[in-house]
């Protein structure tokens, strides 16, 4: 579609993220809910959680009448703004999921995430979703001795849970430079369990597949309440035998949802399309996504259309979990991310930045995802992926389908099924804690870079941190 023919609303949505700007089809919204409706399954949220659930249900039982209600457009939220890492990083804490089932339960959960990457790849191929899916593994790079020690501790933890050199291993700096010319590395590890993906093309392609299976998607249809037997929307009520909450960070807008998750932000940059001369110098032929081991870490990928997409986290909580477009712009974080781009990828030092954006994700109080279905009320829900949603949402959707259809599977026995996280503290305690943690971690990164020694101040906030 020529730029000149794009509608004003299409152009507005393209400004949301570089991923959405690259979507080939128009972004004009689908029709909203026209009024009351009666269906078998009603899903609140047209992101990846809701659409994977709809897809799995429709594939399993084509007779089901399924409606998805999305408050904006498909891909507007985290599903169209994230870093594009489909990783095996489990959306949950070993210390949480291991309390009841022990380390064997944790190992099964982690293996489910590893296997989940291939499941998405299979669906993408079978359904013809053009989203640049490429399983090239991932690199975790330490840029200081203290970061290297944390990487080693992570490998040791995996070994203790029964994973081997086939799952993650340390590579030499020479091998790293053969994979990608990355400046400033002290050590690096590689795992084959990761795929690069264009998240906006994935979620929007999945929406089209769902519609082809008979699923109805209504956009610009905010859900105002989720109750037994119905979704209450601005335009009407959808009555259903089963209702599904798949609203992630937007759960705060629902009755009783304000303290369920902490709404945190990441911010990203995307370069112009880089010429072949830059890639000849940079390498990165296998397109492994990269992450470092700072507390306020950055992550990067080589996109399918030969850009560098790079993001990072910094001061990422806004008072009261407020949802405002202004939260998507943080010039201080953009500056740090661009600095990381120029420093670590010197071949791209002159690359123009074409896109800057931010997006939120939902963090439960224990940093562990939840999937559940109450057969008595007919209410199902999943969420709390804490930045690991590209794999976690697909697992949640498959699991919800099995639960709703009452099918036995390995998925329904995994530790996030039936798991409930305690609620976050009310304001002002929540805001004070979130900002204090962010400030401590930022200062810890600065101290470690300056001294070369682990920052002891991190111990002050470790109990609130994922993976600690």
* Residue 223 and residue 216 in contact, taking contact as beta carbons nearer than 8 Å: no
Whether the pLDDT of residue 76 is over 80: the answer is yes
- Do 352 and 445 fall within a single domain? no
- Write the CB contacts of 335 (distance below 8 Å, at least 6 apart in sequence): none
- 407-421 burial code (b ≥16 CB/10 A, e <16): eeeebbebbbbebeb
- Do 175 and 204 fall within a single domain? no
Using pLDDT thresholds of 50, 70 and 90, give the confidence band for residue 275: very high
Measured CA to CA in angstroms, residue 85 lies from 138, 148, 199, 220, 227 at distances of: 9, 22, 9, 28, 34
- Do 267 and 344 fall within a single domain? yes
**Rg from Cα positions in the chain:** 21
Domains in the chain, number: 3
pTM: 0.95
- What's the mean pLDDT in 406-417? 97
State the burial class of residue 224 (Cβ atoms within 10 Å of its Cβ: 0-12, 13-18, 19+).
middle
- Do 165 and 294 fall within a single domain? yes
- Do 286 and 374 fall within a single domain? no
Q: Is residue 13 part of a domain?
A: no
Residues pairing with 319 in the sheet: none
* Residue 375 and residue 275 in contact, taking contact as beta carbons nearer than 8 Å: no
User: Alpha-carbon distance 405 to 118, whole Å?
Assistant: 23
CATH number at residue 210: 3.50.50.60
Query: What's the sign of the alpha-carbon dihedral 273, 277, 283, 285?
Result: positive
Domain range for 334: 138-191+262-363
CATH number at residue 333: 3.30.9.10
Which residue's structure tokens are 């082809």? Answer: 212
Neighbours of 450 (CB within 10 A): 9
pLDDT tens for each residue of 356-383: 999 988 999 998 999 999 999 999 999 9
pLDDT tens for each residue of 134-168: 999 999 999 988 899 888 888 888 888 888 989 99
User: Alpha-carbon distance 135 to 128, whole Å?
Assistant: 16
Which pLDDT belongs to residue 265? 86
Q: Is residue 418 part of a domain?
A: no
Using pLDDT thresholds of 50, 70 and 90, give the confidence band for residue 420: very high
Q: Is residue 255 part of a domain?
A: yes
Q: Is residue 289 part of a domain?
A: yes
User: Alpha-carbon distance 151 to 243, whole Å?
Assistant: 42
Alpha helices in 265-304, H assignment, sequence order: 276-282
């Amino acid at each position: 579609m020529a730029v000149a023919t794009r509608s004003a609303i299409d152009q507005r949505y393209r400004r949301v993220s570089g991923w959405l700007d690259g979507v080939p089809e128009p972004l004009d919204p689908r029709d909203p809910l026209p009024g009351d409706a009666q269906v078998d399954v009603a899903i609140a949220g047209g992101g990846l959680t809701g659409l994977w659930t709809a897809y799995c249900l429709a594939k399993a039982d084509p007779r089901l009448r399924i409606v998805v209600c999305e408050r904006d457009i498909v891909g507007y939220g985290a599903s169209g703004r994230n870093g594009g890492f489909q990783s095996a990083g489990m959306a949950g804490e070993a210390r949480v999921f291991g309390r009841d089932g022990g380390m064997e339960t944790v190992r099964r959960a982690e293996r489910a995430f590893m296997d989940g990457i291939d499941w998405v790849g299979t669906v993408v191929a079978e359904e013809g979703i053009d989203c640049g899916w490429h399983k090239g593994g991932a690199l975790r790079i330490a840029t200081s001795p203290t970061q290297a020690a944390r990487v080693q501790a992570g490998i040791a933890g995996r070994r203790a849970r029964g994973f081997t050199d086939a799952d993650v291993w340390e590579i030499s700096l020479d091998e790293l430079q053969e994979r990608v010319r990355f400046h400033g590395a002290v050590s690096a590890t590689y795992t084959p369990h990761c795929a690069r993906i264009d998240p906006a093309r994935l979620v929007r392609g999945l929406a089209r597949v769902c519609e082809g299976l008979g699923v109805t998607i209504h956009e610009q249809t905010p859900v105002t309440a989720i109750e037994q037997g119905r979704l209450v929307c601005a335009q009407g009520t959808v009555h259903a035998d089963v209702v599904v909450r798949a609203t992630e960070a937007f759960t705060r807008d629902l009755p009783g949802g304000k303290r369920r998750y902490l709404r945190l932000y990441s911010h990203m940059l995307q370069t112009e399309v880089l010429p072949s001369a830059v890639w000849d110098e940079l390498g990165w032929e296998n397109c492994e996504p990269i992450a470092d081991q700072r507390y306020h870490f950055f992550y990067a990928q080589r996109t399918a259309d030969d850009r560098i997409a790079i993001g990072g986290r910094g001061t990422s909580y806004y008072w009261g979990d407020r949802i405002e477009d202004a939260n998507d712009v943080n010039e201080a974080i953009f500056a740090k991310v661009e600095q990381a781009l120029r420093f670590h990828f010197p071949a791209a030092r002159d690359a123009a930045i074409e896109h800057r954006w931010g997006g939120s994700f939902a963090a439960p109080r224990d940093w562990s995802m939840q999937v559940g279905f109450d057969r008595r009320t007919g209410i199902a829900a999943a969420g709390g992926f804490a930045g690991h949603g590209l794999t976690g949402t697909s697992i949640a959707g498959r699991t919800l389908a099995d639960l709703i259809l009452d099918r036995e599977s390995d998925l329904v026995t995994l530790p996030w099924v039936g798991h409930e996280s305690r609620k976050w503290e009310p304001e002002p305690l929540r805001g004070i804690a979130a900002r204090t943690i962010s400030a401590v971690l930022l200062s810890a990164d600065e101290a470690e870079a300056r001294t070369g020694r682990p920052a002891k101040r991190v111990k002050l906030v470790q109990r609130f941190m994922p993976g600690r």
